[in-house]
Amino acid sequence: MNALRALLLALIGLFIGLAAGMWLHVGIPAGWSVYAAVAMLVIVHALFGAINDHLEDTFTAGGFTLGLCGNLVLALALCVLGDRLAVPVYQAAIVYFGWGIFSNFAGIRRHFVRKSRLKGPIEWENHK
Amino acid sequence: MRTPAGLAPALLAGCALLSALLSMAAAPQAQAATPLEQTMQDRDSIRALDTDVSTLQTQADALQQDIRAVQAALGEQQTRAAALQGELDQTDRMAGETALHGPGVVVRLADAPRERIQEAGSFYDINWFLVHDRDVLQVVNLLKEAGAEAVSINGVRMVEGTAIHCAGPAIYVRDISLTPPFVISAIGDGDRLYDAILKGDNGKPVDIYQELQVFGVVFTVEKQEDIMIPGSTTTDAARRASHDR
């Protein structure tokens, strides 16, 4: 899987989601935008993590789905708790997953930097 | 655990989920707000209104202070204006520009009747039977010494430095000619003014009174309650067009 294929898959996925969202005719109520934002952060974090893992050859579908669902449940639970207590607890989720997105992205960047530094496929395979 | 499934489905599913959420969030928003959101919005609006209230309060206080300052200044101005007005009135009165009225005396001086003069014969100088400028002046001075606040002769107000002099059958008061009979009005203590002429220094009428009486010159002094004396401008304005002051 190369970058182009990944990009293509991502775009297709985006379009499918868009269509589904519009077709469903449900909107996120204004008060629930916190939940939506946190969920989006969690998903982006998981996606970047998946790319990172794939590059490091540690990707597992099970790991991805479990990670995604688990994180979603955890983050949304935090939002519910914040709602009940009238305390902005969701900010913890935002901070963590926001940071996680950049951390995973940095990992991806590092991978490509390392790859470009090493010459030839043999050294690259050896390194891996 | 390695499963046959690779990154592809994960990528697809993840992106689909993400964009679904995005498109839903971008859709027209419903009105309902979670309790947390509502509370936070309320708290924010309360805070904003509080700041507005305190700002307006400070503004109101500042304006209140301005109002008080302006009122104080206005009060000052009014007192000053009143004081100035008082000064002006006083000066006007001193200059004789204001018409006045009050109690006082009216003195009438007129030449002796024709019959009386003819009776006396040609032995006497006719002048002794006539009222002269110095007679009028003396009467006026007597009245002023006795505290007359305002004096007028035949409606011409006597002010500071008004000169009386003779000009044939008439007398000149300032530059206005007057002919007998002379009605001298004086505002002041009626009794005092009356006594000044008819009681004099020693209880007897003053010399001029007695002298003029002898020759039959009409000389009457009458106390009155409400005498009207015009201001000096009224007579001047009536007699000439403009006047350099």
Tens digit of each residue's pLDDT (9 = 90 or more) over B84-118: 998 888 877 667 777 888 899 898 988 888 887 77
Q: Which of A20, A24, A30 sits opposite B29 (nearest CB)?
A: A30
- Please write down the long-range contacts of B136-142, taking CB distance under 8 Å and 24 or more positions apart: B136/B109, B136/B164, B136/B171, B136/B182, B136/B184, B137/B164, B138/B208, B139/B107, B139/B109, B139/B184, B139/B197, B139/B208, B140/B164, B140/B184, B142/B196, B142/B197, B142/B206, B142/B208
B3–A60 CB contact, under 8 Å:
yes
Q: Is A47 on the interface with B (CB under 8 A)?
A: yes
Q: Is B241 on the interface with A (CB under 8 A)?
A: no
Q: Is A66 on the interface with B (CB under 8 A)?
A: no
The predicted pLDDT at position A12 comes to 94
B37–A12 CB contact, under 8 Å:
no
Best probe of the A interface among B21, B31, B43, by most A CBs < 10 A, is B21
A59–B8 CB contact, under 8 Å:
no
> pTM for the whole thing?
0.41
CA A41 to CA A32: how far, in whole Å? Answer: 15
Whether the per-residue pLDDT at B74 is higher than 50: the answer is: yes
The one-letter code for the residue type at B203 is G
CA of A73, closest CA in chain B: separation in Å? 15
The predicted pLDDT at position A110 comes to 93
A34–B11 CB contact, under 8 Å:
no
B6-18 per-position pLDDT tens digit: 888 899 999 999 9
A37-82 per-position pLDDT tens digit: 999 999 999 999 999 999 888 998 899 999 999 999 999 999 999 9
Residues from chain B that touch A49, judged by Cβ atoms under 8 A, are none
- Give mean pLDDT, residues B162-183: 78
The predicted pLDDT at position B210 comes to 81
CA B228 to CA B231: how far, in whole Å? Answer: 10
Q: What is the DSSP letter of B127?
A: G
CA B197 to CA B32: how far, in whole Å? Answer: 107
A86–B39 CB contact, under 8 Å:
yes
Q: Which of A25, A39, A68 sits opposite B21 (nearest CB)?
A: A39
Q: Is B214 on the interface with A (CB under 8 A)?
A: no
CA of B47, closest CA in chain A: separation in Å? 17
The predicted pLDDT at position B67 comes to 93
Structure tokens at A89: 């607890």
CA B188 to CA B100: how far, in whole Å? Answer: 11
Query: Measuring CA to CA, how many Å separate A62 from each of A65, A66, A112, B7?
Result: 5, 6, 25, 11
The predicted pLDDT at position B30 comes to 44
Q: What is the DSSP letter of B212?
A: H
CA A73 to CA A65: how far, in whole Å? Answer: 12
Whether the per-residue pLDDT at B244 is higher than 60: the answer is: no
Helix A90-117 and helix A33-55, axial crossing angle in degrees, nearest 10: 20
Q: Is B40 on the interface with A (CB under 8 A)?
A: yes
The predicted pLDDT at position B231 comes to 77
B14–A50 CB contact, under 8 Å:
yes
Q: Which residue has the higher pLDDT, B156 or A18?
A: A18
- Choose the most confident range, by mean pLDDT, from A74-78, A114-118, B78-82, B188-192: A74-78
The pLDDT confidence band at residue A101, using thresholds 50, 70 and 90, is very high
* Mean pLDDT score of chain A: 89
Structure tokens at B19: 């964009």
The predicted pLDDT at position B239 comes to 53
A6–B22 CB contact, under 8 Å:
no
**Comparing A39-43, A102-106, B186-190, B213-217, which segment has the lowest mean pLDDT?**
B213-217
The predicted pLDDT at position B166 comes to 72
B28–A27 CB contact, under 8 Å:
yes
The predicted pLDDT at position B32 comes to 53
B11–A15 CB contact, under 8 Å:
no
Whether the per-residue pLDDT at B243 is higher than 50: the answer is: no
A1-39 per-position pLDDT tens digit: 678 888 899 999 999 999 998 888 788 887 888 999 999
* Mean pLDDT score of chain B: 81
Q: Which residue has the higher pLDDT, A69 or B131?
A: A69
B28-66 per-position pLDDT tens digit: 654 455 678 788 888 888 988 998 999 999 999 999 999
The predicted pLDDT at position B28 comes to 62
CA B40 to CA A33: how far, in whole Å? Answer: 14
Reported ipTM: the value is 0.82
Best probe of the A interface among B3, B12, B24, by most A CBs < 10 A, is B24
- Choose the most confident range, by mean pLDDT, from A17-21, A100-104, B125-129, B149-153: A100-104
Sequential DSSP letters for B169-210: TEEEETTEEE-SSEEEEEES-HHHHHHHHHTTTTSS--HHHH
Three-state DSSP at B224 gives strand
Q: Is B46 on the interface with A (CB under 8 A)?
A: no
What's the first-to-final CA gap in chain B, in angstroms?
A: 122
Q: Which of A26, A30, A59 sits opposite B31 (nearest CB)?
A: A30
- Give mean pLDDT, residues B207-219: 82
The one-letter code for the residue type at A49 is G
B14–A24 CB contact, under 8 Å:
no
Q: Which of A12, A18, A83 sits opposite B35 (nearest CB)?
A: A83
Structure tokens at A38: 């946190």
| Location of structure tokens 């935008």 | A33
Helix A3-24 and helix B7-26, axial crossing angle in degrees, nearest 10: 40
The predicted pLDDT at position B111 comes to 86
